Amino acid sequence: MQVDDPWAAIEACYDAGWTDGLPVVPPTRDLADAMVAAGPWAADDVLLHEPSRDLSVTAEMAAINAVMAGCRPEYFPVVGAVVRAMGDPRFALHAVITSTGGAAVLIAVNGPIRDELGIHYKENLFGPGFRANATIGRTIRLILRNCLDAIPGTLDKSTQGWAGKYSMCFGEDEASSPWGPFHTSRGFDASQSTVTIMAAESGHNVLNHASSDAEGLLATFADTMAALGSFSAGRSLLVFAPEHARKISESGWSREQCQAFLYEHAARSLAELKQGGKVEAAGQTSGTDAHQWFASDPTVDAGDDDIVVHRGIRPDDIHLMVGGGDAGGHSAFFPTWSRTRSVALITEEIPS
């Protein structure tokens, strides 16, 4: 695109259907080339192939959308790593972006690159105000729209969606974590930089100012996780505020102890799930013996009160991070999208 009149160029991007509803930076050739040059990929390198519709995203295509989103070129290796992670078959990208569930691609960043790029991980963690967070997340939404046709009302069938679909990118506050950086629990070294992506429903604020130990605090989280409205066999992401993380640290609980407690207590009886409309009539099962999300007749049977159903199918389905302002007993729970198992969280190293 050539730009003589900047406002006319912005309007031309609207006319072409390239925007998420907000103005974009007109993607000139020079800007796109500079973006590609900041990453380790050639312009025609394929970062993602979506087999359901045989569509691919090249580095150049990703770069053009990064320009439109307002990224600085140094952000492009993070963008490319996210795109590559979305191409992992375990993420089931086509289902994520077409479902009525309205999932956002949540992006969490770990490692030294957080401070190098100014990826924010303190106050207003999930809110506006930080260029790296906002533009990296927005780039992914533009790529989904402009390269993979995830346009609302056509391929994107979200019943309601949520604001995270504009942009949802943040860093972990690793120094405040009682267990070390999240990506080290995924097999990476602390000196590596990574992105972790999740097909996330909207976040739930978890308020607890009074509990002084891990057990009392985590009971509040487990109760939130067990709410019928978002209950499923899917994964969970908890982002503890530093104040909550300190209380857990003072109790000496390991990551594994927290996961085990949350799994045990984030549970409902099968009777409650049936009464709440969470068990559907269908001639299929969810694929796990531990859950009965589908039944030939979802009416309550004798003994259903005694059958315990957990959120997720094992404790390590519950992922724990830390982030936010140093003061305040407000943390967040993000459920994975889907009525049943949903898709895995994917962690990808950011190339240097």
DSSP states along 144-213: HHHTT---BTTTB--SS--GGGT--EEE--GGG-TT--GGGGGT--TTS-EEEEEEEPPPEEEE-SS--S
More confident residue, 83 or 278: 83
- Write down the pLDDT at residue 288: 43
Mean pLDDT score, 165-194: 98
Mean pLDDT of 52-70: 97
Please write the tens of the pLDDT for every residue from 322-339: 999 999 999 999 999 988
Give the pLDDT of residue 289. 43
Judged against a pLDDT cut of 50, whether residue 66 lies above it is answered with yes
Residues in Cβ contact with 129 at an 8 Å cutoff, skipping those fewer than 6 apart:
120
pLDDT tier at 57 (50, 70, 90 boundaries)? very high
SS3 state at 329: coil
**Average pLDDT value for the chain:** 94
Mean pLDDT of the 34-41 span: 98
Beta strand 194-200 with 346-349: parallel, antiparallel or unpaired?
antiparallel
Confidence of residue 4 (pLDDT cuts 50, 70, 90): confident
**Contact status, residue 149 vs residue 91, Cβ threshold 8 Å:** no
pLDDT at res. 339: 82
Helix (H) or strand (E) holding 11: helix 6-15
Residue with tokens 């259907």: 17
Closest CA to 232 of 122, 136, 318, 130: 318
In angstroms, what is the C-alpha Rg of the chain? 21
pLDDT in tens, 70-117: 999 999 999 999 999 999 999 999 999 999 999 999 999 999 999 999
| Number of residues assigned to the chain | 352
- The average pLDDT across 280-286 equals 59
Tell me the per-residue pLDDT of 214-238, one tens digit each, with 9 for 90 and over: 999 999 999 999 999 999 999 999 9
